Chains A and B, each alone.
Chain A
Amino acid sequence: MDKIVQISYKGRQLAFEETAYQNFQHYELALKNHFLKEEGGEEVFDDIQNRMAEILEQQSRNQAVTVADVEYIIELIGRPSDLGEVNELKTDPVNSKPAEKPKLYRDRKDKILAGVCSGIAHYFSIDPIAVRLIFVLFALFNLATFFALNLSVVTYLVLWGILSPKHLEPGLSRRLFRNPNDKVLGGVCSGLAQFFHTETWIVRLIMVSPLILSLVSGHRHHIPFHLVGDSLASLMIISYMLLWFIAPLAKTPTDYMLLKGEPVNLNTLQHNSAREEVMKSAGGALTGILKAVAYLFIILIAVSVSFSLLGLGITALFASDIAEIILFSGVNKTLALIGLLLIVILPLLATLLWIFRRITGTRANSKPYRLTFASLWILGLVCLAWVSINLVKRMHTYSRTQDRISLAVATDTLVVDQLEGGPDFNRQVFFDLNEMNSLVKHQNGRIQVKAIRLLHDESPDSQFHLLIQRAGFGAGQRDASEQISRSIIQYNMWGNTLQIAPYLELEARKPYNLQHVTYTILIPKGKSVRISSQLKQALRHDYAIGNKDWEWDWEDEDNTSEQEIIYVPQDGQPSAPVEDLRAERMREATDELKRTQEEADAAVRQKEEELKRAKAEAQQKIQDAANALKEVVQDSLKK
C-alpha cells in the first residue's frame, strides 16, 4: 500500500499516492521544460498548472490521487512530444466512442425560438419557412384547444426537449429572407420580390390594394367590392405579419444570393460583396406613399382599439351605479381607475411613440422605453388585481336568514302595495339614460338599492304569512351576517294591506355587498292576493313577481299597468275571481256597445221622422201652389 502524500498545489489541497506523485512530478517537469523554451511560456505553464490542479481535484474526489488519475491528466493535456506542432490531434481517450448520432437536430444558429423548425427543415432539405408555416397554421387553426393542449405547441415543446442542438450547415439553394436594404416596415415585400424575381413595388401593390379597395368602397353594400376587399385585406395583413415573424433577415451576402436563387460559389460571392451597397429598389415615391399609408393604418387601429377598451372599462366601472357602490371605498375606486387607464392607454401611447420614432428615424436605444412602458402596464395590472382580490375577499361568504311572519287579514284578499315615502323608482323618464335603468338612488345620506323580489306560494294553513329571506355576501360568516343586518328593509301592515318598500336601504358611506331580499307571500287556499300596479311597476325592472317557476314575460308590456291578482283555489275549484274580473270587463264593454248602438238607432229614427215631416210639408206646398194656379186660369177664362 502506497504512502499518502499531502500536497498543496496551486491553492488546492491534494492527497497523492506516492507512486502517482512521482509520476506527476516527472510529467510536470517535462511540461515545464517544453513550455519555458518559448517566449511567454511561463504564463502558459502557469495556466496549465492551474488546469491540472482543477482536474486532479475533480478526479480524486476527496480521496488520494491515483496513478490512473495522473495518466488521465497526461492524456488530456498531452505529452510534450505531442505538443508544439499540431501533429496528430488525438481523440480524447476517455470519451473515445462517438455515440450514434441521430440525424434530426435542432439548428443552433438559424433559429427564431429554439431552432426546431430549422432542424426539421434541414433534415428534409427544405426551406425552414415552410416548416414554420405549417406549425403556425396548425397552432392557429386548432382554436378549440388554444394554448395548453394545442397540438402544434406541444409537438414543438417536445421536440425542443428531445432534439440536441447542432450547428447545421445551410444546404439549400433557395430560401426566403426579408430584405433589410429596402424595407418600409419589415422588408417582407422586398424579400418576396427578390425571391420571385419581380419588382418590389408590384408586391407592395398586391399587398395593399385590397385594403385600399375596402376603404374606398366603404359601406355601399350594393357594390360587392367591399366584402372581397375586406377579406382579402385581412388575408394580406395576416400573411404580412406572419412572414415578418417567420422569415429571417438577410444578413450576409450568402443570404442575399440564396434569396435570389443565385448559385453560391466563389465568383458570385465576390461579385455580390461588391454590389451589396447598391441594392435599393426603384419607385421611391410609391414607397413613401405606402409607408405613410401603413403607419396611418396602424395608428387608426391602435387608437380605435384603445379608446373602445377605455370606454368599455370606464362604463363598466363608473357608469353603472351598482358597480360604483360596490367599489365604494375611495382607495379601491382610485386604484381601479388608475389600473384601467394604465392598461388601456399605455399600449396606445407606446404604439404612437413607436411610430413617431420610426418616422423621425431615431435609432436610439429603445430599451428604456420598453422597460418603462412594460413596468407601468404591469403596475396597472397589479392595481386591477389588487382591487379584484379585495373584492373577492369581501364577497367571500354567502349567508342567508329567514323569518316568517303571520299576517292578520280580515278579508279574503290581501292587497300588497308600495310603501310610500321612498324614491320614485318607476318614474319613466325617457331620454335620460341615468334614470331609465337606475337601480340605485341616493337620498338623505342613504342609498336605496333595488334588490327586492316578490314571490308567492301556498300557505300551509288558513292564514296569510310573509316569508322574508335576506341574503348577502361578506368576508366571513360573521361579516356576512353583519352585512345583511346593515341592509334595512321596510314593510308595514295597514289594515288589510301589506305595504312593502321596493328597495333596500344602506348607509351612504359604506359599500354595497350585493345584499338582496326575497319576500314570499304564503296564500291560504280559497284566498287571493292583489298586487298593486305601482308596486308591480316599481319592482318590474329587474326582478319578477310571481310564482317560483314563473318566468317574466317580456312581451307582456301592456299588462304591467294593471294590478296583479293571484288566487289560490280550494281543491277542485276553478280560479273564479280572475274570471270574474275578465267577465266583468266584458260585460262593461258589451253594455257600452249596446248603449252606443241604441243611441245610433235613436238618432237614425229621429232623422227619419224629420225627413217624413219635410216631405209632407213640401207636398202640401206643391198642392197649394197647384190650387192657386187653377184659380188664376179659371178667372182668366171667365172674362
Chain B
Amino acid sequence: MNTDNIQSQMKKGLLEFCILSIISRGEVYPSDISSELRESGMPILEGTLYPLLTRLKNAGYLEYRWVESVSGPPRKYFKMSVHGESFYQSLRQTWLEISTAVHQITENPSNETKTTK
C-alpha cells in the first residue's frame, strides 16, 4: 500500500504542527483539539492524539494543569510552554518555506515567478 504510506507520511509530518498551532492560541482540552482538527478537515483518532500530547509534554513543549469540573472529576488542560512557543515558531517558518516552495514547483513549471491568485 505504497500510496497510503506516502499520504500518511505527509500527514504525520504536519500533525504535530497543527496541534501545536491550536494549542498556541490558548489553553485547551484535548477533545476540543480533536474536534477542531476534524472540522478543519484533518481528523484524528483520540487514541493517536493523547500519546502525541504526552510526548510533546515530555519533551517540554507543553504544560498541563488540572481544572475542576462541575460534572465529575477534574480535567487536564494543555497549554504551550515557552520552549513550545519557539519550537512552534520554527515549525511555522519551515512550513512557510516548504509550502511556498512546493507551490512554486507544482504551479509554475515554466519557472517564471507567477504570483498566486
Q: Taking beta carbons and an 8 Å cutoff, which residues of A are in contact with B?
A: 10-12, 31, 35, 38, 40-41, 43-44, 47-48, 50-51, 53-54, 57, 76-78, 80, 82-83, 85-92, 95, 98, 125, 167, 171, 173, 254, 263-266, 269-270
| Chain B residues whose CB sits within 8 angstroms of the CB of A77 once the complex forms | 45-47
Q: How far is the CB of A115 from chain B (nearest CB, A)?
A: 15
Residue pair A43, B45 in contact (C-beta under 8 Å): no
Contact partners of B75 in chain A: CB under 8 A? 50, 54
With A12-B73, A86-B15, A92-B43 given, is the CB distance from A51 to B8 under 8 Å?
no
Interface presence of B97 (CB below 8 A): yes
Distance A618 CA – B86 CA, assembled complex (angstroms): 134
* A83 and B48 contact, CB distance less than 8 A: yes
Q: Give every chain B residue within 8 A of A35 (Cβ-Cβ).
A: 51
Asked if B58 and A40 sit within 8 Å, CB to CB, the answer is: yes
Residue-wise interface mask of B (56-94) relative to A, using a CB-CB cutoff of 8 A (1 in contact, 0 not): 001000000000000111011000000000000000000
- Residue-by-residue, is B26-66 near A (CB-CB < 8 Å gives 1, otherwise 0)? 00001100000010111111111011011100100000000
Residue in contact with A125 in the complex, picked from B15, B50, B113, B117, CB distance below 8 Å: B117
* Chain A residues with CB below 8 A from B101, complex form: 265-266
Residues in A neighbouring B114, C-beta threshold 8 A: 263
Chain B residue nearest to A39 (CB atoms) is: B58
Minimum CB–CB distance from B93 to chain A (whole Å) comes to 8
Select one of B58, B73, B100 contacting A266, CB under 8 A. B100
What are some 6 contacts across the A-B interface (CB < 8 A)? A48-B47, A51-B31, A57-B71, A78-B47, A265-B104, A266-B100
C-alpha gap A38/B55 in the complex (Å):
11
Residue numbers in A under 8 Å from B40 (CB-CB)? 167
Chain B residues in 8 Å Cβ range of A125: 117
A78 to B71, CA, bound (A): 25
Report the minimal beta-carbon distance from B107 to chain A, rounded to whole angstroms.
10
Q: CB < 8 Å: which of A51, A89, A263 contacts B43? A: A89
Given A254-B96, A269-B96, the answer on whether A86 and B47 have CB atoms closer than 8 Å is no
> Is B47 in contact with A265, judged by CB distance below 8 angstroms?
no
CA distance A503 to B113 in the complex (A): 90
Asked whether, in the complex, the Cβ of A78 is within 8 Å of the Cβ of B48, the reply is yes
| Interface, chain B (partner A; CB < 8 A) | 4, 8, 11-12, 15, 30-31, 38, 40-48, 50-51, 53-55, 58, 71-73, 75-76, 96-97, 100-101, 103-104, 113-117
Apart from A80-B47, A266-B97: 6 A-B pairs, beta carbons within 8 A = A11-B73, A12-B72, A43-B54, A51-B30, A78-B45, A264-B116
A51–B40 Cα distance when bound, in Å, is 22
| Distance in Å: Cβ of A52 to nearest Cβ of chain B | 9
Q: In the bound complex, do residue B46 and residue A51 qualify as a contact, i.e. CB atoms below 8 Å apart?
A: yes
**CB-nearest residue of chain A to B71:** A57
Residues of B within 8 A of A91 (CB): 38, 43
Q: Which residues of B contact A41 (CB under 8 A)?
A: 51
For B43, the chain A residues whose CB sits under 8 A away are: 89-92
A173 to B47, CA, bound (A): 41
Closest B residue to A262 using CB positions: B115
Is the pair A47, B73 in contact by a Cβ cutoff of 8 Å? Answer: no
Closest to A80 in B: B47
Given the complex, which residues of A lie within 8 Å of B58, measured CB to CB?
40
Q: Judge whether A263 and B45 touch: CB under 8 Å.
A: no
> Distance in Å from the Cβ of A124 to the closest Cβ of chain B?
12
Chain A residues closer than 8 Å to B73, beta-carbon distance: 10-12, 50
Per the bound structure, the CA–CA distance linking A91 and B37 in Å amounts to: 11
Write the nearest CB–CB distance from A18 to chain B, whole angstroms: 24
| Residue of B45, B101, B117 ringed by the most chain A CB atoms within 10 A | B45
Partner of A89, one of B44, B53, B54: B44
Q: Which residues of B contact A10 (CB under 8 A)?
A: 73
Q: Are B100 and A264 in touch, CB under 8 angstroms?
A: yes
Measured CA separation A11–B74 after assembly (Å)? 10
List residues of chain B with CB within 8 A of the CB of A266.
97, 100-101, 104
Report A-chain residues with C-beta under 8 Å of the C-beta of B38.
Answer: 91-92, 95
Taking the closest CB of chain B, its distance from the CB of A501, in whole angstroms, is 75
Instruction: State how many angstroms separate the Cβ of B14 from the closest Cβ of chain A.
Output: 10
CB contacts (< 8 Å) of B103 on chain A: these are 265
Q: For residue B117, which residues in chain A have a CB less than 8 angstroms away from its CB? A: 125, 171
A76 touches B48 (CB 8 A): no
A90→B45 CA distance, assembly (Å) = 7
A43–B78 Cα gap in the complex (Å)? 14
CA distance A53 to B115 in the complex (A): 51
Interchain nearest-CB distance for A552 vs B (Å): 70
Q: Note all chain A residues with C-beta closer than 8 A to B55.
A: 40
The smallest beta-carbon distance between A161 and chain B, in angstroms, is 19
Contact (Cβ within 8 A) B115 A44: no
Given the interface pairs A47-B54, A173-B115, the reply to whether A82 lies near B72 with Cβ below 8 Å is no
Specify the chain A residue showing the minimal Cβ separation from B31: A51
Instruction: Give the residue of B30, B47, B104, B115 whose beta carbon is less than 8 angstroms from that of A82.
Output: B47
Most chain B C-beta atoms within 10 Å of own C-beta, residue among A47, A78, A80, A91? A47
A48 touches B72 (CB 8 A): no
CB-CB under 8 A for A88 and B8, given A83-B48, A171-B116: yes
Report chain A residues within 8 Å CB of B42: 89
| Closest-CB distance, B91 to chain A (whole angstroms) | 14
- 4 closest A-B pairs (Cβ-Cβ)? A78-B45, A78-B47, A173-B115, A11-B73
Closest to A45 in B: B50
Interfacial chain B residues near A47, Cβ < 8 Å: 30, 50, 53-54, 76
Name A85's closest neighbour in chain B (CB-CB): B8
A263/B44 in contact, CB under 8 A: no
Q: Which residue of A lies closest to B114 (CB)?
A: A263
Residues of B with C-beta under 8 A to A86: 8, 11-12, 15, 44, 48
**A44 to B64 CA separation, bound complex (whole angstroms):** 13
Find the residue from A38, A43, A266 having the highest chain B CB count within 10 A.
Answer: A266
